[in-house]
Amino acid sequence: MTGALLEVERLTMEFRAHRGTGGGRVQAVRGVSFTIGKGEILGLVGETGSGKTTVGKCVVRLLNPSAGTVRFDGQDITRVPRGKLRQLRARFQMVFQDPYSSLDPRMTVARIVAEPVRAHTTDSATEVRAKAARAIERVGLPSGVLQRLPHELSGGQRQRVGLARALVLEPQLLIADEPVSALDVSVRAGILNLLADLQRSMGFSCLFITHDLSVAEFLCDRVAVMYLGEIVEVGTRDELFADPRHPYTQSLLAAAPLPDPVRQRGRAGARLAGEPASNVTPPPGCGLNPRCPLADDRCIAEAPAFTVVSALGHMTRCHRVEERQSAQ
Amino acid sequence: MSLTIAPDPAAMLEAAGQSGRHWLRRLVERPPAVIGLAGVIVVVVVAVFAPLLAPYSPVASSFQAVLARPFTAGHLLGTDELGRDVLSRMIYGAQPTLEVGVLATGLALVVGVPIGLVSGYYRGAADMLAMRITDVVLAFPFLLVAIGLAAIFGPSLRNVVLALGIASLPGFVRIARAEAMALREQDFVQAAIVTGVRDRVILFRHLLPNMAGPILVQATLTIPGAILGSALLSYLGLGVQPPTASWGNMLATAQEYLFNDPWLAVFPGVAIFLATLCFNLLGDGLRDLFDPAMR
Amino acid sequence: MPAVLEVDDLQVRLFDRTGPVLAVRGISLSVRRGEVVALVGESGCGKSVTALSLLRLLPGDAQVTGSVRVDGREVLELSPAQLRTIRGGEVAMVFQEPMTSLNPAFSVGNQIAEVLRLHQGLRGAQARARALELLRMVGIGDPEKRLRSFPHELSGGMRQRVMIAMALAGEPKLLVLDEPTTALDVTTQAQILDIVRDLRSRTGMAILLITHDLGVVADIADRIVVMYAGAKVEEADVYDLFRAPRHPYAAGLLGALPGSAVARREAGRLRLAEIPGMVPVLRAPLESCAFAPRCQRATDQCREQPPLLTPCGPADDHAVACFHPEPVATVPA
């Protein structure tokens, strides 16, 4: 890991709220900053409404962020002109959650996988075909699927096609938005193994967006936890899972059931009460304060800043952690 | 061993909705749509092969047999006020009637779909403009617009097509726009954007083919409207001009003889009614096929 | 003590465009009072069809044979009127999607009161008091206000609580939960599972939990039944199965999960187990093991005759339908 490939700084995204919310604005992402090093997989973990998918869409500029910068290899892609952006897109690609809607139902697999090559190179038809065939082989599919239509494939096969399309140009960054959540367990395992293998052999960086902590723990080098539009904790996988500091991360980890009754039933059952606050009217101070058992007046009065808790860059935004840290 | 490996049910349903052979078969499972399809085929065959099918020339007068009643010798549907064979005029009349319907619909489709496609995909200023224009066209009653245009441009087949085409435009703009907006949010279009595919390619390779179904439905439902419109314009003397026969102008001339010789009005009237009905039945059948909820 | 639910050799044949589908192929299971039995499998394994056939909720052309006894009464032979008293009465069901299971046009209070009127004969103030009590039981804060709420005003977790409250209104002996937390976030799921755990110990209901999530099973179930292609392939105490799954499919499912006890490590990194191929759709009875085409342990025997469910040990209530079950010893305890 030498230097950052992606630097996201103070990223903010607001939407006009839908009916019934009094014309407010949904603050989907509120000042999110993170970096991804070369060859690193960063997991972005959160529940529904945490803003993790919006962050992903801003990073690939499917959405234009309200504020903040997204620097890819030094260039701020929130500000590059359209033509330049189109060229840059060859270097960062995306995999989507739904293997059924992410492939054009009327295109053969060969055309789907060849499309990025056609868009970015002047390769001859033979070269394009060869690249598509190689990409399909790389994701572990038989070459026979090239002439198939998406609906003739299973969910797992479709997701592999999506991966082949994203990797055919050998991008430096892959944004994967819940790529395995729509799949059955046995199929999911194949895709996760494949992603891990491909990352090691091709060396791309990856922003892996997921709600599933066990998946993040399996695949990611570092993990960032989002709550109500903000990153509340970020750290290396080992540190974050072994020693979560933020009350939200702690209860999220405690709430995700382990597929092992011995360990699952032996765990302390610290539960968060209630549900996340509205992101149209987020609470003042720390976003978690209405649900947090440790919250006091300070948590309502002032938003916590990041406290670094380890030499490896494990940090979290919690007044309690900061107070404990400075007391030492 | 009868072990069929199949993907999950969702994929199976989707497969049924998307492969070509399947939807033809499923169309055939709907009796009203089949009746509609059969009727449409009959009208098309009659229009195309009119010279072969008609027993007489549509304009040849026979003064021995003026206003002959139906089922008289040699004239199955009788003759008109100039002694022309009604059956032959009906057969030849299918041609301009269908022509107006198809051409007007084609014009509306060719102009309306790209407008809707672009305004739905890009939104913004282009969308505002397209929507306001279609709102203006929609605010006028369909036939009033056609009558106005026919009055301005003068009565001729071309002008009828133009008038009805413009009047049918908003339907296509709206459908294409709605489809483009929906498809734009689909992951496969988002994927194409992220991949850096050119807009032109996205519009014509991803959006257009995937909205073909609803547009076909809209076309099938627009043709009968245009046929009715052309009949009305002919009736008002603004459409196809005599002596060329069209169902509309046959109906118009027939009104003078409505009292004594009602069949002159009944046959073209019934023909217009049935043709319109068949197109509508077919269109409804196609709509059911393409409706995701029916899959 | 007799079981609350006893299913014996349940067979369900459904019809799609192409013809008959053998959705359930001879399932037997029982759920005793106070027990949580999990029915587990991936999409298309027949677990939801099994759940629906318990209350005869399948489409009219479905062919159901075998026996489903609730408290000794044969459900498959009940008249429509008797069936109505069982549905929402002795047997209550909670589905995955709480939004579509609630009527959007009526308030929460109205819908709970309806169940109370039908099955408990309660009306007016009595019904209201009981509805409030039920909402409190499922952990809904400010129940007076919630009685007047409409489904769209509630979050997904809140709606699922309401669904459970409605299920409880008929004081069921058996509660069938069909993927009750699949649509929910994990923190909400944990709250719902706490409620289920609490209800079980308080009311002694028998609970049949249909799920694909082995984490949920590990958290709450006493016994587990693993289904594949419409048939039961393994049944065991939860602890036994998670420690030493005997059927290759069950072992594969567990090995595919990063956090399970049987997941393997390769060169210091976790390697997840993969099951190649797809779940088959069966249209005619099989003369082989349904899992054989995907199984690494399959032999000619597996391809020539279907294995029957047989006790396999080490525990005496552990049974597997496999000629070559996974050895217990290779799985680290």
Q: Is residue B30 part of a domain?
A: no
DSSP A93-120: EEE-S-TTTSS-TTS-HHHHHHHHHHHH
User: Which tens digits make up the pLDDT trace of A161-203?
Assistant: 999 999 999 999 999 999 998 888 888 999 999 999 999 999 9
Whether complex ipTM tops 0.90: no
**Chain B residues within 8 A of A54 when measuring between CB atoms:** none
In the predicted model, what is the mean pLDDT of residues C256-282?
Answer: 77
CA distances in angstroms from B98 to B87, B94, B102, B150, B247, listed in the order given: 17, 6, 6, 18, 10
Q: Of the ranges A116-130, A275-289, B125-139, which one carries the lowest mean pLDDT score? A: B125-139
**C240 contacts C318 by C-beta, under 8 angstroms:** yes
| pLDDT given at position B245 | 81
Instruction: Find the CB nearest B16 among C17, C283, C290.
Output: C17
Confidence label for C333 from pLDDT (cuts 50, 70 and 90): very low
C315 touches chain A (CB under 8 A): no
Phi, psi (degrees; rounded to nearest 5) at B260 = -90, -35
Provide the pLDDT for residue B292.
47
- Flag whether B37 is in a domain: no
| B69 is a domain residue | no
How far apart (Å, rounded) are the C-alpha atoms in residues A271 and C194?
10
User: Residue C43: its chain A contacts at CB < 8 A?
Assistant: 184
**Residue C165 is which amino acid?**
A
Q: Which residue has the higher pLDDT, C259 or C228?
A: C228
Is B291 or A323 the better-scoring residue by pLDDT?
Answer: A323
Place of tokens 């066209």: B137
Mean pLDDT of C95-112: 82
Judged by CB atoms closer than 8 Å, whether chains meet at B11 and A165 is answered as: no
Structure confidence at residue C329 (pLDDT): 57
B15 vs A120, A152, A175: nearest CB: A152
Flag whether B196 is in a domain: yes
Closest chain A C-alpha to C57 CA, distance in angstroms: 25
pTM of the model: 0.85
Instruction: Report which of residues C17 and B190 the model is more confident about.
Output: B190
- C-alpha C99/C-alpha C109 separation (Å) is 16
Q: State the chains in contact with A (3 or more Cβ–Cβ pairs under 8 Å).
A: B, C
If you compute the radius of gyration of chain C from its CA atoms, what whole number of angstroms results?
21
Q: Between chains, do C215 and A275 touch, taking CB under 8 Å as contact? A: no
Radius of gyration of chain A (CA): 21
pLDDT of residue A192: 94
Between residues B55 and C301, the one the model is more confident about: C301
Instruction: Give mean pLDDT in consecutive 10-residue pieces for chain B, a chain of 295 residues.
Output: 35 41 68 87 88 79 72 74 81 86 93 92 83 80 73 78 87 93 91 90 90 88 85 77 79 80 84 88 80 47
- pLDDT for position C119: 86
Beta bridge partners of C64: C12
Q: Using the beta-carbon criterion (under 8 Å), do C44 and B2 form an inter-chain contact?
A: no
Put simply, the answer to whether C185 touches A48 (Cβ < 8 Å) is yes
How many domains in chain B?
Answer: 1
B-chain CB neighbours of C17 within 8 Å are 16
pLDDT of residue A209: 97
* Domain boundaries, position B245: 47-58+78-294
> What's the pLDDT at A146?
95
Which segment, B97-101, C135-139, C205-209, is predicted with the most confidence on average? C205-209
Strands (E), C214-322: 223-228, 231-237, 264-266, 269-271, 281-282, 310-311, 319-320
**pLDDT, tens digit (0-9, with 9 covering 90-100), for C48-62:** 999 999 988 888 888
pLDDT at C157 over 90: no
Are C280 and B7 inside 8 Å of each other by CB?
Answer: no
Specify if B274 maps to a domain. Answer: yes
Q: Band the pLDDT of A64: cuts 50, 70, 90.
A: very high
Average pLDDT of chain C is 88
Q: What is the pLDDT of residue B4?
A: 33
- Interface touch B1/C279, C-beta < 8 Å: no
Query: Which pLDDT band holds residue C38 (cuts at 50, 70, 90)?
Result: very high
User: Average pLDDT, whole number, for chain A?
Assistant: 91
Residues, chain C, total?
A: 333
* pLDDT tens for each residue of A25-59: 889 999 999 999 999 999 999 998 899 999 999 99
Average pLDDT on A205-213 reads: 95
pLDDT of residue B250: 83
- C256 with A189: Cβ contact below 8 A: yes
Residues of chain C in contact with residue A257, where contact means CB-CB under 8 angstroms, are 186, 189-190, 193, 213, 215-216, 218-219
Q: Which residue has the higher pLDDT, A3 or A218?
A: A218
pLDDT band at C104 (very low <50, low <70, confident <90, very high): confident
| CATH number of B236's domain | 1.10.3720.10
Residue A273: the pLDDT is 81
Q: Are A33 and A10 in contact (CB under 8 A)?
A: yes
Tell me, what's the pLDDT at B295? 41
pLDDT band at A1 (very low <50, low <70, confident <90, very high): very low
